[in-house]
C-alpha cells in the first residue's frame, strides 16, 4: 500500500497535544475527565493520574481522580490505571489473551479470586493468601476479565474487589482499545500498540487488520505508520497556540513511548536517556509544546 500523507514531526506533535488536551485545559467536568483518560491514566506512581488530569482539566482538585465517573484497574501491561467507569470493558476485555493457554490462566485466576473474595473487599496481600496464590502480583492476571477493580491511594497495598463482567464482546473491546491508542499515540504501528497494551504482537497486528479501511497509512520521520482516517484532517490542521508549560508525571501518555517512537518526541539522544531512564522515569517538562526537561519530587522538594 502506498502512503498518501507525509507527516512532519511538528504535525505529529501538534496533533498529539490537541488530542491530549495539552495546549489548553478543558473546562472542569466528567466529559473532561473521560477525555483525559481516553487512553487511560497510568497511576503506578503515587497520584500520577491526578497530575495528568491537572495538566488537562481546569479546576482540578486533590480529589478529582476519585470522581464517581472514574475507577482504578490493572490496565495495559498490568499497571495501575485510572479509567472512565463506562470504559472499563475497553481497558480490560480489550486485553483478554487470544492464546488458549493464556486465556485459561486468566479465567482460572479470576475464578479463584472471586471465590476467595466472596463478595468482600480485601487488600491484595490478603486476597492472595485467601486464594493461595504464589505471589500477590498473580492477581493482576485476572484484570482482563473486567471483573476486578482496585483502589490504591499511593502507598501500602491496593484494595481489590469484584464487579460484574462488562457486557461487551472482547473483540469489539480490542478494536476500541486500538482506536483509543491511535487517537492519542498516532501515528503508530500494530507492534507498538501490542507493546503498550501488553498483548501479543500477532494480536496487535490482527486488531489493525480488522480496523481495515478506517485506518490510513502515513509516512513519518521514523518510517511508515497508521492513523485513524477520521483524524487525518486534524493532522493537516494548522497548529493552535501552545500552553506555556505543563508538568507531566512519570507514565503520562505524552511520553509513554518505546523504541524509535521516542525519537519523534525527543530527537536528541542524550536528552532521551535523561527522560527514559533504565529505572523509574522522571516526569516530563513541556514548554510551549516541546519536551525540554525532566522533574522529580521528593517530599516537598521539586527538582526541575
pLDDT digits (tens, 9 = 90+) for 17-54: 999 999 999 999 999 999 999 999 999 998 999 999 99
* Of 5, 72, 3, 86, residue with least CA distance to 43: 72
What pLDDT, on a 0 to 100 scale, did the predictor assign at position 4?
73
Q: What is the mean pLDDT of residues 98-113?
A: 97
Q: Would you tell me how many other CB atoms lie within 10 Å of the CB of residue 274?
A: 12
What pLDDT, on a 0 to 100 scale, did the predictor assign at position 60?
98
- Of residues 2 and 196, the one with the higher pLDDT is 196
User: Would you say residue 116 has pLDDT above 60?
Assistant: yes
Dist CA 23 CA 55 (whole Å): 9
* Of 70, 112, 64, residue with least CA distance to 91: 70
User: Would you say residue 1 has pLDDT above 70?
Assistant: no
User: Would you say residue 84 has pLDDT above 90?
Assistant: yes
User: Would you say residue 87 has pLDDT above 90?
Assistant: yes
Dist CA 115 CA 296 (whole Å): 41
Per the domain annotation, does 8 fall within a domain?
A: no
What pLDDT, on a 0 to 100 scale, did the predictor assign at position 304?
94
User: Would you say residue 174 has pLDDT above 90?
Assistant: yes
Per the domain annotation, does 252 fall within a domain?
A: yes
- Total number of domains in the chain: 1
Q: What is the mean pLDDT of residues 158-184?
A: 98
Per the domain annotation, does 297 fall within a domain?
A: yes
Strands across the sheet containing 41-42: 41-42, 80-84, 70-74, 148-151, 159-162, 122-123
Q: What is the mean pLDDT of the chain?
A: 96
User: Would you say residue 153 has pLDDT above 90?
Assistant: no
Q: How many residues does the chain have?
A: 304
Per the domain annotation, does 35 fall within a domain?
A: no
- Of residues 134 and 186, the one with the higher pLDDT is 186
Per the domain annotation, does 42 fall within a domain?
A: no
Q: Would you tell me how many other CB atoms lie within 10 Å of the CB of residue 214?
A: 15
Q: How confident is the model at residue 110 (pLDDT cuts 50, 70, 90)?
A: very high
CB 196 within 8 A of CB 94: no
Per the domain annotation, does 215 fall within a domain?
A: no
What pLDDT, on a 0 to 100 scale, did the predictor assign at position 155?
82
Per the domain annotation, does 212 fall within a domain?
A: no
Q: Which residue has the cell 500498540?
A: 193
pLDDT digits (tens, 9 = 90+) for 232-251: 999 999 999 999 999 999 99
Q: Would you tell me how many other CB atoms lie within 10 Å of the CB of residue 107?
A: 16
Share of the chain above pLDDT 70, in %: 99
Structural domain of 256: 245-303
Q: How confident is the model at residue 3 (pLDDT cuts 50, 70, 90)?
A: low
What pLDDT, on a 0 to 100 scale, did the predictor assign at position 298?
84
User: Would you say residue 300 has pLDDT above 90?
Assistant: no
What pLDDT, on a 0 to 100 scale, did the predictor assign at position 299?
82
Q: What is the pTM of this model?
A: 0.96
Residue 111: what are its φ and ψ, rounded to 5°? Answer: -65, -40
User: Would you say residue 2 has pLDDT above 60?
Assistant: no
What pLDDT, on a 0 to 100 scale, did the predictor assign at position 154?
81
Q: Which residue has the cell 513511548?
A: 257
Per the domain annotation, does 270 fall within a domain?
A: yes
pLDDT digits (tens, 9 = 90+) for 220-231: 999 999 999 999
Amino acid at each position: 500500500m502506498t502512503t498518501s500523507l507525509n507527516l512532519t514531526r511538528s504535525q505529529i506533535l501538534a496533533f498529539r497535544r490537541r488530542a491530549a488536551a495539552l495546549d489548553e485545559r478543558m473546562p472542569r467536568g466528567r466529559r473532561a475527565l473521560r477525555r483525559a483518560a481516553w487512553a487511560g491514566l497510568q497511576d503506578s506512581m503515587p497520584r500520577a493520574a491526578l497530575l495528568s488530569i491537572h495538566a488537562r482539566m481546569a479546576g482540578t482538585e486533590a480529589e478529582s481522580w476519585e470522581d464517581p465517573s472514574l475507577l482504578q484497574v490493572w490496565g495495559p501491561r498490568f499497571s495501575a490505571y485510572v479509567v472512565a467507569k463506562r470504559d472499563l470493558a475497553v481497558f480490560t476485555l480489550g486485553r483478554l489473551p487470544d492464546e488458549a493457554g493464556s486465556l485459561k490462566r486468566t479465567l482460572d485466576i479470576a475464578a479463584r479470586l472471586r471465590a476467595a473474595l466472596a463478595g468482600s473487599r480485601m487488600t491484595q496481600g490478603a486476597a492472595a493468601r485467601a486464594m493461595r496464590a504464589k505471589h500477590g502480583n498473580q492477581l493482576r492476571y485476572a484484570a482482563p476479565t473486567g471483573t476486578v477493580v482496585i483502589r490504591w491511594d499511593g502507598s501500602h497495598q491496593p484494595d481489590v474487589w469484584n464487579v460484574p463482567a462488562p457486557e461487551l464482546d472482547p473483540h469489539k473491546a480490542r478494536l476500541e482499545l486500538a482506536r483509543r491508542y491511535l487517537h492519542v499515540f498516532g501515528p503508530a504501528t500494530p507492534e507498538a500498540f501490542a507493546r503498550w497494551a501488553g498483548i501479543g504482537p500477532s494480536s496487535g497486528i490482527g486488531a489493525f487488520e480488522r480496523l481495515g479501511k478506517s485506518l490510513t497509512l502515513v509516512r513519518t520521520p521514523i518510517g511508515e505508520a497508521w492513523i485513524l482516517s477520521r483524524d487525518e484532517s486534524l493532522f493537516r490542521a494548522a497548529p493552535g497556540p501552545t500552553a506555556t508549560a505543563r508538568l507531566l508525571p512519570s507514565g503520562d501518555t505524552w511520553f509513554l513511548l518505546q523504541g524509535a517512537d521516542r525519537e519523534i518526541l525527543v530527537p536528541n539522544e542524550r536528552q532521551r536517556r535523561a527522560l527514559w531512564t533504565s529505572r523509574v522515569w522522571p516526569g516530563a517538562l513541556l514548554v510551549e509544546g516541546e519536551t525540554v526537561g525532566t522533574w522529580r519530587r521528593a517530599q516537598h522538594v521539586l527538582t526541575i
